[in-house]
Structure 1
Amino acid sequence: MTTYLPNLTLPDSVFRSLPASILVPITLGTAVGFSTRPKEVPRKYLSLKQPPLRPPPQAFGPVWTILYGLMGYAAHRAYFLGTSPLSLPSTIAAARHGATLYTIQLGLNLAWMPLFFGFNRPILATIDILSLVGINGYLAWLWGTKVDSVSGWLQAPYLAWLSFATYLCIGTGYLNNWDLDVKEGKKRN
C-alpha cells in the first residue's frame, strides 16, 4: 500500500470543506472541458466510428458534473470522518492514503479528455482510463472497508460510468484503427 504523499495530495483544507471538496473537481472538470475545444469535440465525437450504445455528446456534461460532485462529497466524507481526532491511527492512515489516491485519480481523470480529443492519442487515453478504473476500484474498497462504507459506495456510480467510458474509449479506438486524426468536414464510414 502506498502512503499519504502530501506533495501529491490536495490540501487538507479542500477535503475538510464540503463546498471546496465538491466544487474543486467540478470546476477543474469544467475548465478542462472548455479548454479542449468545446465546439469541435462534439463534431469530432460524432464523426468517429463508435461502438453500440454511445450516448449523445450533450449527455457527458451533466453526467460528469454529477459524478464530480459525488466523488468530491465522498472524498470530503472519507477524509473528514477518517481523520477525526476520535479515529484509530489505522483509519487516519487509510483516510490520508485515500486522499493521495483521490488526488492522483483526479489528475488522471482530467488528463483523459485532452489525451483523447486534444492530442488524438487513444492508446494513451485507454491506459489512462484503465488506470482510473483500477485506482478507483481500490479507492472504493479502501474507503468502504477502512474508513467509511458510505464513502466507498459513493464511488459506485463513478466506477460504473468509468467502466462504460472504458468500453467507449477502447471501442472507438479499435473501430478507428487507433487513429483519431479526423480531417475537418470528413466523416468516417
Structure 2
Amino acid sequence: MTTALYHLALPQAVFANPAASILLPIALGTAVGYSTRPQVNDLDVRSLKQPPLRPPPYVFGPVWTVLYGLMGYAAYRAVGVPGPTELSRDTRIISASIYTAQLGLNLIWMPLFFSLRRPIEATIDSVALLGLNVYLASLWLEQPATEVAGWCMVPYVAWLSFATYLSAGTGYLNGWSLRRDKGKGPAKDQ
C-alpha cells in the first residue's frame, strides 16, 4: 500500500529542501487565491448572507500566507529532515501522501466556492481537508521526532475549523446557492 501512496506524494526533493517546502504551498495558494478570488463588483458574492464572526476580506490573504508557510515548514520537519529518530519509511510515505492530498483539497476550495459557486461541494471539501489535517497533526504530535511539525499544524487545523464553519454557514444561510436570481437574492442552481 505504501508503494502506491509514494506515487501520490510530492517529490521527496520538495520535502528535503526547506525553502521549496515552505514556498511551494505559499506560491500555489497565492496563485489560486489571486486567480479565483471574487471581484469587488461581484454582486453574487457581495449579496451573500454571512455567518457571525466572519472576518473582513483583507484578513484572509495574510492569514493564509502564514498558514501555508507553517504547513510547508511542518512538512519539511516531518518528512524532509532525516535524523536518528526519524519516522519509519512507511510513516514518512503516508505523511507525504496525506500532506499532498490535503494541499490539493486546500487548493480546490476557492475554485469550488467562488468560481463554480458550489457551496455544498466546497463544504464537503473543507470537512475532508479538516479531517486529513487533524489526522496528520495527531500523527506528527504523537512522535517525538515530528512533534514540532505537529505543533506547526495546530494553527492550520484551528483555522480550517473556522473556515469550515464559514463555508457551511454561508452555504446554509443562502439556501446552498451562491447565485442571484435577477436581483431577487440567492436562487437555486440551474
Q: Same fold (TM over 0.5)?
A: yes
Query: Which aligned pairs between 1:34-183 and structure 2 lie closer than 5 A?
Result: 34-40=34-40, 44-81=44-81, 84=82, 86-87=84-85, 91-146=88-143, 147-182=145-180
Q: TM-score, length-normalised on structure 1?
A: 0.88
- Answer whether contact 1:32 1:110 (CA < 8 A) is retained: yes
Q: Please state how far the C-alpha of 1:186 moved relative to its aligned partner.
A: 7.3
TM-score computed with the length of structure 2 as normaliser: 0.88
Q: How many residues align?
A: 184
**Is 1:7 aligned to 2:7, yes or no?**
yes
Check the 8 A contact 1:45/1:57 in 2, yes or no. no
Contiguous gaps of at least 5 residues in structure 2: none
AA matched with 1:78: A
Instruction: Report the RMSD for the aligned CA atoms in angstroms.
Output: 2.2
* Superposition deviation, residue 35 in structure 1: 1.5
Question: Distance between the aligned counterparts of 1:32 and 1:43, measured in 2?
Answer: 21
Structure 1 window deviating more from structure 2 (3-12 vs 151-160): it is 3-12
Relative to structure 1, the CA distance from residue 141 to residue 124 in structure 2 (aligned partners, 3 Å threshold; closer, same or farther) is same
* 1:22-74 deviation per Cα after TM superposition (whole angstroms, max 9, x unaligned): 11000000111121155258765442101100001111000000000000000
Structure 1: distance between partners of 2:106 and 2:163? 11
Which runs of 5 or more residues in structure 1 are unaligned?
none
Change in 2 beyond 3 A, CA 1:44/1:85:
same
Contact 1:126-1:170 at 8 Å conserved across structures: yes
Tell me the percent identity.
57
